[in-house]
Structure 1
Amino acid sequence: MNAIRLLLLPLGLCLALLAGCASAPAKADKVALVIGNAAYDNVVRLVNPTNDAADMCASLRKLGFKTTCATDVRDRAEFDTLVKAYVAALDAGAVGVFYYSGHGVQAGHGNYLIPTQVKLKSATEDPTKVLYAVDDLFDRLRQRRARFQLVVLDACRADLFEQAEHKPGSRVAAAPRSDLVRALETVARASNGLAPIKDAPPGTIVLYATASKDLAFDGDGRNGPLTKHILAHIETRGLYVEEFIKRVTLGVEQETFRKYRKRQTPFIYGSFSGKFCFAGCPGDNDVPVPPAF
């Protein structure tokens, strides 16, 4: 676990991970797992995911979430360890937030999150076997009938299949194709961006940074556009999750079109029929409904 730089990890969970303890972590009403991957060895590096993760962790902690945060998750096994611990901490009626900022790719029939230091054992190895499948995350989440789950995938933030060069809104350094990218090019239907979600767990909303198979801007400030606007609204009292997503989407569209003359539109998948507000809904201690902007 020393390859994961943990921004926040509850003491009991930390001891369990380090010592291989089999005891289940204590359940909580609100649980979050936040991952920011930036310092890639195998694809172009990103600037903002580390900031994104730190700021999301701070905001979620402020809102009362039992939050585990990690940066530069090295490989698929470390992804799986973090997700297993996160799901184990979810009570059946809890609220969960899984947040990922970094590279993602569609390959074959699935969507994958890219660890920072994966290496192929041979030129013939299936590259998807060393990535973390979004379907694996969904399979874990189905184990818990959480009251509401938000999955944020702030991915697709650079063109993996071209030699990186500076582009408007991008802060990545030039880099040649890696062995991983060359291997991904041989996989059917491999492309930048993530494919649409068709089978999200019940009660789950999946929020993409941009449309499927499209690129998102890494941003030219502290945070990427999606995370910047999530942070701007997530602590707003009395804001239902549906209105929260609308405000985030509008903010991202307006900012990216103004700065880059190209509109980045976040997309949502899944379904949720209940009521939820991150900072308390109307009726919770007489929380007022804020006006739309």
Structure 2
Amino acid sequence: MFQRQALVIGNGNYKASPRKSCVNDANDMSVALRSIGFLTHCATDLNSYELERRTNRFAQSIEPNSLVVFYYSGLGVQYNDYNYLIPTDNAGINAESIKEDGINIENFVETLQNKAPRVVIVILDCCRPYRELGRLNPFFDRNTLGLLQGLAPVRPPPSTVIAYSSAEGTSSTRLIVKGRNSIFTHHLLRHITTPNVDIDTILKLVSWSVQQETRNRQIPIRYSNVYENIYLVNTGFNQNNLQWSYGMQLKQPIGEYERLSAKTYARLCSSSTSSSSSSSSSFT
């Protein structure tokens, strides 16, 4: 059994540009990950000191050969081709303050990988709009050299998956589903606890669902340097003397995997279509 560890952060109480759904996103994602056996730490509305402390403590807690998930909902920007998570006390006055106060995602992932986990999965729902409610977001000042909207593309290190809620250099829509979750996290919550589906397929389903519901206004993207089938939930079965344990399955027989994933994919796609047509969504 592999140790499964997760850090979930939701930053929404920004003085300059408050976010409506981020804390809900984080709380709901924390519940979902706990329900499938993750040792999950959840924190919300972190200032610069707390954000650095929480991420450092989590990185130090990583056990070798573990399955690690980091989920973040909040503001994020790119500066000089690096990506930063923004604490709630940063007002976005200038790029240097973001560089000093924010968490450099690439450096954080490298720190996680230095602890020798089996796999690191990073999910970032932080590609927030440049203009909202007729006002410019102070974190995306186009007059500041090197500070750009959306996140920059990344090259994940080995055994790492990085997922963005919106493609690099773009922002997500302001769609809030049922007044609670962002459109990306809404669909992630629907799929992430599904058994016997690998993480790559789950992220494909989320991306497909978001694109369908937003009519391609928001297109999630993922970067992967993982060449194994990674299952967050594996119910286990015994067929032809094959015994799989609950947890992360790394050496699943190809034939059985294709049979299971094809059926599951068809079922989930059908479910996504009906859900997209009936879900209640609003813009804030």
Point out where structure 1 has 5 or more consecutive residues left out of the alignment. 1-27, 167-173
User: How many residues are matched?
Assistant: 244
**Residue 103, structure 1, aligned to residue 75, structure 2:** yes
- Whether the aligned pair in 1 keeps the contact of 2:140 and 2:149 (CA below 8 Å) is no
User: How far did 1:245 drift?
Assistant: 1.4
Partner Cα distance (1:96, 1:69) in 2: 14
Change (3 A) 1:177 1:263: closer
TM-score, normalised via structure 1 length: 0.76
Corresponding position of 1:239: 197
Change (3 A) 1:132 1:124: closer
Deviations 1:18-52 (A, max 9, x none): xxxxxxxxxx800000011111013x211111110
**Residue 201, structure 1, aligned to residue 157, structure 2:** yes
Corresponding position of 1:6: none
User: How far did 1:73 drift?
Assistant: 1.0
User: How far did 1:189 drift?
Assistant: 2.5
Partner Cα distance (1:286, 1:80) in 2: 33
- Whether the aligned pair in 1 keeps the contact of 2:197 and 2:264 (CA below 8 Å) is no
Corresponding position of 1:82: 54
- Whether the aligned pair in 2 keeps the contact of 1:97 and 1:149 (CA below 8 Å) is yes
Opposite residue 232 of structure 1, the aligned amino acid is R
- Whether the aligned pair in 2 keeps the contact of 1:46 and 1:218 (CA below 8 Å) is no
Opposite residue 132 of structure 1, the aligned amino acid is I
- Whether the aligned pair in 2 keeps the contact of 1:99 and 1:153 (CA below 8 Å) is yes
User: How far did 1:124 drift?
Assistant: 9.7
**Residue 137, structure 1, aligned to residue 108, structure 2:** yes
Corresponding position of 1:11: none
Opposite residue 39 of structure 2, the aligned amino acid is K
Partner Cα distance (1:123, 1:158) in 2: 18
TM-score, normalised via structure 2 length: 0.78
Point out where structure 2 has 5 or more consecutive residues left out of the alignment. 238-243, 248-258, 270-284
User: How far did 1:123 drift?
Assistant: 7.5
Partner Cα distance (1:134, 1:218) in 2: 23
Partner Cα distance (1:106, 1:275) in 2: 30
Change (3 A) 1:123 1:64: closer
Change (3 A) 1:275 1:71: same
Partner Cα distance (2:78, 2:90) in 1: 17
- Whether the aligned pair in 2 keeps the contact of 1:51 and 1:223 (CA below 8 Å) is yes
Corresponding position of 2:172: 216
Partner Cα distance (2:64, 2:83) in 1: 26
Partner Cα distance (2:87, 2:62) in 1: 24
Opposite residue 147 of structure 2, the aligned amino acid is A
Decide which moves more: 234-243 or 126-135: 126-135
Partner Cα distance (1:118, 1:286) in 2: 42
- Whether the aligned pair in 1 keeps the contact of 2:79 and 2:95 (CA below 8 Å) is no
Change (3 A) 1:154 1:234: same
Aligned residues: CA RMSD: 2.5
- Whether the aligned pair in 2 keeps the contact of 1:150 and 1:205 (CA below 8 Å) is yes
User: How far did 1:281 drift?
Assistant: 6.3
User: How far did 1:177 drift?
Assistant: 5.9
Deviations 1:39-70 (A, max 9, x none): 1013x211111110011000001111111111
